[in-house]
Amino acid sequence: MNDPAADRPAPPPAPPGARLFTDPEPFRTEYGAELPGYGLAYETWGRLSPGRDNAILLCTGLSASSHARSSEADPSPGWWERMIGDGAALDTRRFFVVCSNVLGGCFGSTGPASPCRADGEPWGLRFPLVTIQDMARAQARLLDHLGIEKLYAVVGSSMGGMQALALGALFPARTARVVAISAPGRSYPLSIALRFVQRQAVMRDPVWNGGRYRPGEGPLEGLRLAREIGTISYRSGPEWDQRFGRERLRPRPADVGPDFQVEAYLVRQGERLAGSGFDANSFLYLSKAMDLFDLGEGAPSYEDGIARIHARTLVVGVTTDLLFPVQQQEELARILREAGREARFVRLDTVYGHDAFLIDVDRFAAILRPFLDERGPQP
């Protein structure tokens, strides 16, 4: 007799080195829906000290998995490989580094591609809308599971920076230091508009089918186009002038297809995401969560919402960031200082745009390492 469960589609797999934290308790989202439990994929590097006071939580960007660095269980390079390790900025001789994939994501964490308990089929668009704050609350439960009462630091870039800020605001007693790189305290119209168009690219792919598709067989063309659009905002014009100029793929145009090196680069980036196994519905949910992010939500004002962060804070903005312009990070740091918080702002002049934290690693390490080394409020 055939087992019907054997024919059910599987969600994108977790990285080989990931562990799964499973919370069987109901999880109520910010907008009032309820999940009957959930799981978060996570990886760790270094050792938790006897006093459990050396933990750093590293928060991921939109399409990243928990695999931030290589390990014995998974020797493939992680997405922030050079920032974590012996003697690195996140020094595993001193710190216990935890990186978890987010609620609503994929690669092992519960999200739209996960099976719904009611019928075993993927949640799809039945999955409840989640916010950055929901992700932070789920991560707090992971910290409880690991026995970490207070973080030495929480670190994140882009969507990860939003999570770091949310953790600092929701759990001020649990966060000694907050590092937010290329992340504002709320989303502004330009980034909202860009993500809206990206979601439209996915949802207008016929294969999307209202979110009903088998994991791994989703709207790959729409996902490719969404990443191509996003990549335009992740890098900068000055970098592309230096890198590509007007270099051609062929001596003379023969049709309306790609002719320039920069076009080929966008195509490669789209294919890279589509080929990674990243779930298209997760892309929709996580990008929407970024749109909804606002530390002022539920507070008397934006300033009051930011002031809920009591941690020593490092805010890093990039001068060529198109997605989250540097003035948004300047504003965040200014509001923190006006609220009497200890907040440092670093304006990094680099041609690499929003994605600079993935590329200009040595310069980011030079900023992050001394901040983590400074004597200050102890966990």
Give me the catalytic one of 23, 279, 291, 321.
Answer: 321
Beta strands in 135-194 (DSSP E): 153-157, 177-181
Give me the catalytic one of 71, 158, 182, 191.
Answer: 158
Give me the catalytic one of 23, 157, 205, 354.
Answer: 354
Give kind and range of the element (H or E) at residue 365. helix 361-373
Give the count of alpha carbons within 13 A of 92, CB side only: 17
Give the count of alpha carbons within 13 A of 52, CB side only: 9
CA distances from 130 to 57, 92, 119, 219, 290 (A): 20, 32, 21, 22, 10
Question: What residues does 294 pair with on adjacent strands?
Answer: 186
Residue with token string 């009497």:
340
Strand-pair category, 312-318 with 343-348: parallel
89, 369 contact by CB (below 8 A): yes
CA torsion 269-280-136-290 (nearest 10°) is 70
Active site (annotated) includes residue 321: yes
49, 151 contact by CB (below 8 A): no
Within 10 angstroms of residue 116's Cβ, the number of other Cβ atoms is: 15
Active site (annotated) includes residue 158: yes
In terms of DSSP H, where are the helices of 275-349? 280-292, 302-306, 326-338
Give kind and range of the element (H or E) at residue 314. strand 312-318
Q: What residues are annotated to the active site?
A: 158, 321, 354
